[in-house]
Amino acid sequence: MTTIVTDNCKNCRFTDCVTVCPVACFHYDDEMLYIDPDTCIDCSACIPECPVQAIFEGDDIPEDQEHWVEINAEKSAALPVCEEQMEPLPGAEERKAALGF
């Protein structure tokens, strides 16, 4: 089982997920968040928190998002941990609306 952040987070980065992560496994860059698969315990607490439903676990990962498994692992290894909630990126609300949420 792996839990990953996918497409919808890009240019939103709401970080609501970070506040409920029991193990601080979210990492970030200027665009979005990534989950460190070695730290994540697959508790799925973050999944319902995401306002744009960008987080998926194991069996629920849509086929066209599967490439994110590798990206999450690679990116998280090199990026800083997101310890607490940050301001969403500029334009996040518009993007959320455009995504239909």
The single-letter DSSP state of residue 34 is E
Residues 46-65 that bind another protein (CB under 8 A): 46-48, 53, 57, 59-60
Whether the CB-CB separation of 10 and 65 falls below 8 Å is answered with no
Residues 6+ apart with CB under 8 A from 92: 11, 12, 13, 14
- Residue 16 CB, shortest distance to another protein, in Å, is 10
| C-beta of 48 vs 91, nearer to another protein | 48
State the residues that interact with another protein by CB under 8 A.
1, 19-24, 41-48, 53, 57, 59-60, 84, 100-101
